[in-house]
Amino acid sequence: MNINIDVIIYVIIALIAVIYVLKGFKIIPQSETRVVERLGRYDRTLQSGINYLFPIIDRAREVYHRAEIRYADGSKLATMVKTSKIDLREQVYDFDKQSVITKDNVTTTINALLYFQIVDPVKSVYEIDNLPNAIEKLTQTTLRNVIGELELDETLTSRDTINSKLRAVLDDATNKWGVKVNRVELQDITPPESVRRAMEQQMQAERERRAKVLEARGQKEAMILQSEGEKESQINQAEAEKQTQILKAQGEADAKVLQATAEAEAIRKVAEAIAESKTDPATYMLMMKYVETLKEIGAGEQSKTVFLPFEASNLVGALGSLTELLPKK
């Protein structure tokens, strides 16, 4: 009976030893780590995979972790919990809205997102007691300082500049904690209601001013186009009149040339006829004068009777004989 009790005791001790040994194995997921202390002093940082911790003498150091509880109505509650897990992935903290005062003494509400990553787990454990709380307080203080150097208009229009400045300041301050700040994003910038109303009125006035400017510019362009059209029309009209005058002048010149040619031909034929009839040219010219004079006398309303001298009748007879010599049309 004593032998059976001893066996049982040995089995129990063996089981306790096995459990003791197996309890020391730890599986670390990818992108996580643990800081191990041996007898209260830093010993090593665990890597992902299977690791072994000697029970009692080895212990993973617990750190604070920021956890957010979100409710159905959209609200959230940030709490601090202790855990030995250290997440090496990029993390994001969504801070609550806080009131800040701008350079021109306008109180506005701002909330921000902070993206950071733990790059040195040992520093994040031993250089700061509560890393999430320290990051939150540092972000809030830095945000107040940066916004306090800017006026409200600059705050609303210079988000990229503010984000870059916040990231640079926070990254430098958290470097000794083993933290790398990747970026900071301002989400909402909410001025007071009175300021928002004034801004809306200002924007409305600006929109109306731009509308008037655009309307005036349109009217100006329309008048310019109209004047250019009228100018073009006048130019075209003047060009048409010019072409008309040129064509008219060319027609008159051609007509005069033709008339002069015809007169020259007539004179030539008259000269030939005079030469053939052996008539004195002076006599011919005198006869032509008589004929023109008779036409003028006959055209008068008061002229009823015309007396011709004897010499004139002879000239008329000679003129008739001369016309017979001219070629008929």
Q: What percent of the chain has pLDDT over 70?
A: 80
Q: Mean pLDDT, the chain, as a whole number?
A: 81
Q: Which domains, and CATH codes, for the chain?
A: 1-61 (no CATH), 62-191 (3.30.479.30), 279-329 (no CATH)
pLDDT tens-digit readout, 59-72: 999 999 888 777 77
pTM higher than the cut 0.75: no
Q: Are 110 and 87 in contact (CB under 8 A)?
A: no
Q: Distance between CA atoms of 144 and 100, rounded to whole angstroms?
A: 6
- How far is residue 80's CA from residue 131's CA, in Å, rounded to a whole number? 10
User: Alpha-carbon distance 143 to 36, whole Å?
Assistant: 35
Query: What is the three-class DSSP state of 171?
Result: helix
pLDDT at residue 327 greater than cutoff 50: no
Looking at residue 72, its pLDDT comes to 76
